[in-house]
Amino acid sequence: MKKILLLCLFFVTMLTARADDGYRLWLRYELVSNPQLLANYRNAITSIYFAGTSAAIIAAKDELQMGLEGLLGRKYVLQNNLSSNQLVIGTPKSSPVVAGLSLNAQLAKAGDEGFVIVNSKKDQKNIIAIVGNTDIGVLHGVFHFLRLLQTQQNIQSLSITSAPKIKYRLLNHWDNLNRTVERGYAGYSIWNWHTLPGYIDQRYIDYARANASIGINGAVVTNVNANATILTKEYLEKVAALANVFRPYGIKIYLTARFSAPIEIGKLKTADPLNAAVKQWWKDKIDEIYKYVPDFGGFLIKANSEGQPGPQDYKRSHADGANMFAEALAPHGGIVMWRSFVYSNESPEDRLKQAYAEFKPLDSKFKNNVAIQVKNGPLDFQPREPFSPLFGAMPKTPLFMEYQLTQEYLGFSTHLVFMAPLFKEVLNADTYQKGKGSTVAKVLDGSLDGLTLSGMAGVSNIGNDINWTGHLFGQANWYTLGRLSWNYELSSAQIANEWIRQTFGNTRQLVDTVDKIMLSSREAMVNYMTPLGLHHIMGYGHHYGPAPWFDKASRADWNPVYFHKADSVGIGFDRTEKGTNYLSQYAPEVKKVYENIDTCPEEYLLWFHHVPWNHKMKSGRNLWDEMCYRYYAGVDSVRLMQKQWNSLEKLVDKQRFNQVKMLLAVQEKEAVWWRNSCLLYFQTFSKMPIPAGYEKPDQTLEYYKNLNFPFAPGNGR
């Protein structure tokens, strides 16, 4: 008996030691917990028929066998003959069995990357078919089928045809060659350039698996503040090794190009894009890249922004610069993604107006393999921004969306902020470019203007932390990017539900509670950081924490005081005709709503208007009291999130439960810091008291002003 007890204790200890560290992301493949559903799945899937031998098909086979073994508790051996209750997987080209299923109409809608999943009959045998036009389509179908099982969906009457709405679905890594990550909060870069190409870390493969599972098909692996060294022979060999890992998963590799590379590594005296020698240098370099990486995707380029070199150094336009790269990439099928994030300290204009002013006149001037990559808002990845006016202003030029997954302005990886509502807010915004219904999403997918290039990118929040993203819930934002770029019609609630069920399990209480936490988290963060349209009042440089008082930066538009304009009269940036007239960059229908202080949505009020402190809000409160209400509501929301999470202690493994619990405590403390410091500072202008009934700040404004963070993360170069 003693031995049995010791043995039981051993197994209990082993199970406890196997606490979930988050590494598996949403691909956990845990045994289906519902006994009846497990039995149904097992009855519906008794064997697997797989056609094809490509690297993508092998990846799909391995994933399916691993997933089914984990989910259904059985090992499945591949069979060469058709049988009842079988998964039949392949393309019409690779298998006569698949070709005989008469799925041509569905496959015509699936395209090159999509898939069809149906319950069908073949030779009087019940089967589930997972079919694509290509092997990559099959791989995507396999991942989707495993998602259905993980989220415990009915597989008795499947009729799914799925194709991506966006062609280029990318992660942009701001990773440097020394493994630091600019604005990264999850450790060092996962790319170990020192050990490549000889050593292939398993993490590279798991990264590719995770991306393929949500439909991401491209990775820009280097920082937009580019280093020309990546274009040297030694590093191209390393890039090729990564590309070889990605290829079976349908993921192309992209690089950032430093505009001055012809000078720095080519020993030319100029980088003028119209210079013949410069053009030839880039043509030769790009030809060399394709010898190493035959399916190289192309370049992402940041030029003439924040000190980066670019065509304007030679009095050339952005179109001149982009087209030089485009001409060299075109024979290989590569594309140029030229970032529109440009602003100049020399310009007296409202910083928000500068991208439009530079790019709008260039509409139609770019080659057909050039896309302009535009941040979701006109400023810089703030907790809330209106959509960039470039969406709807360049109908002859493909525009790619750029989101930021890494939470540079959203509390870093210590704050739980589910970003799907932010992404959807922008996608659903109406540009009125061609009348009502001209949404940003329709601009992006090209349908509004008949354009064929479409793209959506997210600045990666991935590092070498064991759980990839620092905060466990940061994984949900990576997941969201993939799912929305595949299908932007998915709702925030749908995406949250999928992620929760795959990441934590399908227990009703758990799913419902985490769903409430996630769907409320973004609005909570806006309230305790930048309510009512406030923006860019974060700490200087590192952007950690509040510093609305800061005014010592080397350029005006790096100072928070530049953006909030608080004075004795009121607060907010006047961007109407009486102010900077930034609103003139939007369609008249959009401008009309925002320019009137009474019709402007209150979430953007201080973005577009300088508003008196005693202005009456929709709630009946004056502006000052409304600001206080929002800041306190934000903190209260975080405290509610803490209570909700604590209620799940018995439903979440100890390791992940404790990690999130501790980070929520950090978030609550920092939310209070945001609330107190901002209100104490803005109170010096409003001269109004914090309303009775609210807990009073426990520190003085001077205390908050004197806080210093010389080693705040995210500034790696």
Would you please indicate which residues are annotated as catalytic (active-site) residues?
Answer: 306, 380, 408
Distance CA 240, CA 197 (A): 8
Distance CA 650, CA 622 (A): 44
Integer CA distances (angstroms), 380 to 373, 554, 558, 595, in order: 13, 18, 11, 22
- Quote the Cα angle for 277-281-286, to 5°: 150
Sequence letter at residue 469: T
If you search the block for the tokens 């703030």, which residue do you land on? 382
Longest pairwise C-alpha distance within the chain: 86
If you search the block for the tokens 């009348």, which residue do you land on? 435
User: Who's near 108: CB < 8 A, 6+ residues apart?
Assistant: none
226 in Cβ contact with 257 (< 8 Å): yes
188 in Cβ contact with 196 (< 8 Å): no
Instruction: Provide the sign of the torsion angle of the four alpha carbons 308, 310, 312, 318, taken in this order.
Output: negative
Half-sphere exposure of 2 (CA within 13 A, CB side): 0
Sequence letter at residue 203: R
> Distance from CA of residue 223 to its chain's centroid?
16
If you search the block for the tokens 């915004």, which residue do you land on? 429
Q: What are phi and psi of 402, to 5 degrees?
A: -120, 115
User: Within 10 Å of residue 417's Cβ, how many Cβ atoms?
Assistant: 26
Q: Which helix (H) or strand (E) holds 204?
A: helix 202-213
User: Who's near 302: CB < 8 A, 6+ residues apart?
Assistant: 224, 225, 226, 256, 308, 339, 341
User: Within 10 Å of residue 16's Cβ, how many Cβ atoms?
Assistant: 11
Q: If you ran DSSP here, which 8-state letter would residue 410 be given?
A: T
Q: Which residues pair with 696 in a beta bridge?
A: none
298 in Cβ contact with 337 (< 8 Å): yes
DSSP assignment of 433-458 = BTBTT-BHHHHHTSTTTT-S--EEEE
What the block records as the tokens of 570 is 């009121």
| Residue 338 burial class via C-beta count within 10 angstroms: exposed 0-12, middle 13-18, buried 19 and up | buried
Instruction: Provide the sign of the torsion angle of the four alpha carbons 157, 161, 166, 167, taken in this order.
Output: positive
If you search the block for the tokens 């790319």, which residue do you land on? 191
Q: If you ran DSSP here, which 8-state letter would residue 14 be given?
A: H
Length of the chain: 717
User: What 3-state class would DSSP assign to 230?
Assistant: helix
What the block records as the tokens of 125 is 């045998």
Q: Which helix (H) or strand (E) holds 47?
A: strand 47-50
- Quote the Cα angle for 279-282-287, to 5°: 125
What the block records as the tokens of 191 is 């790319």
What the block records as the tokens of 225 is 């503040």
Q: Which helix (H) or strand (E) holds 400?
A: strand 399-404
